[in-house]
């Protein structure tokens, strides 16, 4: 008999990250001989700095081949706690630090832990697509918090607080943000934390994976620096973006006491531990020289200037200057195109991979996302192609 198997119902609700589908299509077109410029996927185009690679190789040569504790190796947990304490003037106990295989694993774990039918989870829209996907997977109700261009793509504390109800279990915050590049100012964070006093049932997941990717001398505001909410804050961060380590699969999180044992058990049940040599590479990344991070950020700053200027020269396109991360989120409404058809046409007909705004939520219509993690000549060529395509 033919097999009649299927996954449980929750899998009919799980979503995807379209950036990976665009990457696959761009690679397919390239293998057919097309010249495709990829401004789709969100990963630094730099190699991992050599001192970090060397530390990973050395760890392998030194025999770090086995399991590590599920929560991560102790020196790395301590280094993470120390690094956060210095950068955000806050006390972090290494016993609350969890080393995980990538930034996504923290959001997966947090949403799985707090989402269930009857619970509401607030998340930024436009925002990283996995938030909504995972919320729906758990059966919780996804409640989008609109991220608006007129606010410079920062979240509004008032609007966020107005959406909280007694059913709200988790609030997801992301600054600097994907896909809009918005950075929320401290006054909004202050107001949000004050307002959260009234809602003690709400856990906060602060996705700060772009914390070091911030421009114009601005300081990153970490929710870690608010002692009032530390007993219900999950901090998400990792090495992927800051140290150009997306393929190493390395992340870390800080968990409140009440939830730490749950995530430790999740690790034991699922990934056991992060691969050992990668953890030694991560240790070198945060304790070693930081010049390479500064170098990458200075290159991103140059590219940002060019992307924003050139996009604003295209008739029908307007682009807010992103304050953080490495994404531009131009408004394309006046071109007469809808976002997804435009992104598809740019890839298929103009050879430029971008992502349509609606892939990041309903509030993404009218925009496309360009990742400027590409060389300046490629960025210039890509924008010339977009301009020529729209003028045709
Ligand atoms: N959070 C945000 C906002 C992101 O943009 C990304 C990746 O693009 C992640 C988390 C996931 O990072 P990682 O590749 O380390 O899983």
Model confidence pLDDT, tens digit, residues 186-195: 999 999 999 9
Which ligand 1 atom sits nearest the alpha carbon of residue 251? 15
Model confidence pLDDT, tens digit, residues 171-219: 999 999 999 999 999 999 999 999 999 999 999 999 999 999 999 999 9
Q: What percent of the chain is modeled with pLDDT above 70?
A: 100
Pocket test for ligand 1, best of 43, 109, 128, 214 (most atoms within 8 A of CB): 128
pLDDT of residue 89: 87
How far is Cα of residue 266 from the mean position of the Cα atoms in its chain? Answer: 22
pLDDT of residue 124: 98
Model confidence pLDDT, tens digit, residues 12-32: 999 988 888 888 999 999 999
Q: State the Cα–Cα distance between residues 48 and 143, nearest whole angstrom.
A: 37
Pocket test for ligand 1, best of 207, 240, 245, 274 (most atoms within 8 A of CB): 240
Pocket test for ligand 1, best of 241, 249, 326 (most atoms within 8 A of CB): 241
Mean pLDDT over 363-368 rounds to 97
Q: What share of the chain is helix, strand, coil (3-state, %, to 5)?
A: 50, 15, 40
Q: Tokens for 149?
A: 């261009």
Give me the architecture of the 9-47+291-391 domain, per CATH: Alpha-Beta Complex (3.90)
Mean pLDDT over 337-347 rounds to 96
Give one DSSP letter per residue of 141-179, joined into a string.
EEEEEE--GGGTTPPPHHHHHHT--TTEEEEEEESS-TT
Ligand 1 centroid to residue 134 C-alpha, Å = 14
pLDDT of residue 16: 87
Domain boundaries, the chain: 9-47+291-391, 52-287
Q: State the Cα–Cα distance between residues 252 and 354, nearest whole angstrom.
A: 29
Model confidence pLDDT, tens digit, residues 256-310: 999 999 999 999 999 999 999 999 999 999 999 999 999 999 999 999 999 999 9
Residue 115 has pLDDT above 90, yes or no: yes
Residue 320 has pLDDT above 90, yes or no: yes
pLDDT of residue 41: 86
Residue 128 Cβ < 6 Å to ligand 1: yes
Instruction: For residue 331, list its beta bridge partners.
Output: 318, 367
**Does CATH place domain 52-287 in 2.30.30.180?**
no
Contact 93, 81 (CB under 8 A): yes
Residue 251 Cβ < 6 Å to ligand 1: yes
Closest CA to 372 of 43, 125, 19: 43
69-98 burial, b for 16+ CB within 10 Å, e for fewer? Answer: ebbbbeebbbbbbebbeeebebebebebbb
**H helical segments located in the chain:** 18-31, 50-61, 74-88, 103-114, 129-138, 157-162, 186-196, 257-269, 276-287, 291-312, 339-350, 376-391
Number of alpha carbons in the 13 Å side-chain half-sphere of residue 239? 30
99 to each of 50, 54, 75, 377, how far by Cα in Å? 22, 20, 11, 37
Q: State the Cα–Cα distance between residues 163 and 63, nearest whole angstrom.
A: 52
Residue 303 Cβ < 6 Å to ligand 1: no
Mean pLDDT over 135-156 rounds to 97
Ligand 1 centroid to residue 104 C-alpha, Å = 6
Q: State the Cα–Cα distance between residues 16 and 359, nearest whole angstrom.
A: 9
Length of the chain in terms of residues written: 392
């Amino acid at each position: 008999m033919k097999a009649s198997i299927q996954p449980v119902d929750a899998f009919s609700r799980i979503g995807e990250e379209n950036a990976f589908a665009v990457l696959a299509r761009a690679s397919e077109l390239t293998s057919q001989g097309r010249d495709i410029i990829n401004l789709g996927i969100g990963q630094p185009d730099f190699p991992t700095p050599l001192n970090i690679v060397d530390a990973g190789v050395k760890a392998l040569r030194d025999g770090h081949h086995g399991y590590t504790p599920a929560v991560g190796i102790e020196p790395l947990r301590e280094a993470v706690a120390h690094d956060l304490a210095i950068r955000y003037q806050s006390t972090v106990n290494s016993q609350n630090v969890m080393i995980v295989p990538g930034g996504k694993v923290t959001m997966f774990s947090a949403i799985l832990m707090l989402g269930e039918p009857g619970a509401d989870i607030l998340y930024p829209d436009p925002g990283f697509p996995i938030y909504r996907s995972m919320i729906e997977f758990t059966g919780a109700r996804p409640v989008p918090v609109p991220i608006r261009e007129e606010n410079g793509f920062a979240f509004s504390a008032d609007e966020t607080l107005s959406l909280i109800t007694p059913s709200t279990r988790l609030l997801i915050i992301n600054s600097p943000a994907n896909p809009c590049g918005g950075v929320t100012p401290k006054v909004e964070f202050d107001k949000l934390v004050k307002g959260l006093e009234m809602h003690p049932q709400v856990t906060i997941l602060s996705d700060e994976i772009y914390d070091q990717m911030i421009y114009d001398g601005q300081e990153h505001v970490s929710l870690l620096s608010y002692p009032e909410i530390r007993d219900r804050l999950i901090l998400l961060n990792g090495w992927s973006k800051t140290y150009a380590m997306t393929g190493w699969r390395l992340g870390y999180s800080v968990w409140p006491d009440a939830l730490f044992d749950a995530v430790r058990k999740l690790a034991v049940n699922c990934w056991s531990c992060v691969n050992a040599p990668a953890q030694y590479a991560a240790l070198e990344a945060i304790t070693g020289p930081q010049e390479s991070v500064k170098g990458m950020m200075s290159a991103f700053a140059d590219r940002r200037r060019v992307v924003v200027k050139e996009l604003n020269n295209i008739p029908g396109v307007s682009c807010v200057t992103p304050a953080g991360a490495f994404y531009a989120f131009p408004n394309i409404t006046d071109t007469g195109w809808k976002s997804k058809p435009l992104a598809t046409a740019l890839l298929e007909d103009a050879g430029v991979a971008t992502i349509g705004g609606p892939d990041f939520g309903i509030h993404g219509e009218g925009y496309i996302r360009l990742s400027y993690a590409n060389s300046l000549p490629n960025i210039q060529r890509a924008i010339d192609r977009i301009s020529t395509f729209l003028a045709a």
